[in-house]
Amino acid sequence: MALSLLPLAPLSLRTPPPRASLRLEDDSPRLNGASLAAAAAATRVNAWTEWGTLREVVVGDAHNAHFPPRSPALRPAINREGGQCFLEPDGSVVEAEGIGALLERSVGWPAGRKAQRTIDAANQQLDNLAAVLRRRGIAVRRPSGGVDWSAPIKTPFFDAPNQYCATCPRDIVATIGNVVLEASMSRRDRYFEVYQYRDMIREIWRADPAMLWKAAPKPSCADRMYNSEWWDLRTEERYAQMRNYSFCITNEEPIFDAADIMRCGKDIFVQLSMTANAAGIEWLARELAPSGVRVHTLRFPYDLAPSHLDCTFVPLRPGLVLTNPERPIAEEDAATFAAAGWRFLDAPQPTNPSRPWASQSSKWLSMNVLSLSPRVVVAEEQEVALHRLLEAEGFEVVKVPFRAVYEFGGSLHCATWDLARDDCCEDFFP
Active site residues: 257, 308, 414
Helices vs. strands in the chain: H and E counts, helices first: 9, 20
Sequence-ordered alpha helix ranges (H) in 197-315: 198-207, 235-243, 278-288
| Under rule CB under 6 A, residue 82 binds ligand ARG | no
| Binding residue for ligand ARG, selected from 61, 171, 407, 423, defined by CB under 6 A | 171
Binding window for ligand ARG (CB under 6 A); candidates: 80-88, 104-112, 114-122, 308-316: 308-316
Shortest distance, CB of residue 308 to ligand ARG, whole angstroms?
4
Look at residue 208 and give its three-state secondary structure.
coil
Compare residues 266 and 403 and give the one whose CB is closer to ligand ARG: 403
**Phi and psi at residue 339, to the nearest 5°:** -65, -30
| Binding residue for ligand ARG, selected from 48, 51, 197, 364, defined by CB under 6 A | 364
Q: Which residues of 200-225 are buried (b: 16+ CB within 10 A; e: fewer)?
A: bbeebeeebeebebeebeebebeeeb
Taking residues 268 to 307 in sequence order and writing x for each that binds ligand ARG by CB under 6 A, - otherwise, the string is: ---------------------------------------x
Q: Which residues of 70-104 are buried (b: 16+ CB within 10 A; e: fewer)?
A: ebbbbeeebbeebbbbbbeeeeebbbbbbbbeebb
Binding window for ligand ARG (CB under 6 A); candidates: 23-31, 66-74, 147-155, 359-367: 359-367
Q: Please, what sign has the CA dihedral across residues 165, 167, 170, 175?
A: positive
| Under rule CB under 6 A, residue 361 binds ligand ARG | yes
| Under rule CB under 6 A, residue 50 binds ligand ARG | no
Shortest distance, CB of residue 302 to ligand ARG, whole angstroms?
12
β-bridge pairing 93-96 and 267-271: unpaired
| Under rule CB under 6 A, residue 168 binds ligand ARG | yes
Look at residue 166 and give its three-state secondary structure.
strand
89: CB partners within 8 A, 6+ apart: none
| Under rule CB under 6 A, residue 126 binds ligand ARG | no
Compare residues 125 and 362 and give the one whose CB is closer to ligand ARG: 362
Shortest distance, CB of residue 310 to ligand ARG, whole angstroms?
5
Q: Enumerate residues 400-419 that contact ligand ARG by CB under 6 A.
A: 409-410, 414
Residues near ligand ARG (CB under 6 A): 168, 170-171, 259, 307-308, 310-311, 361-362, 364, 409-410, 414
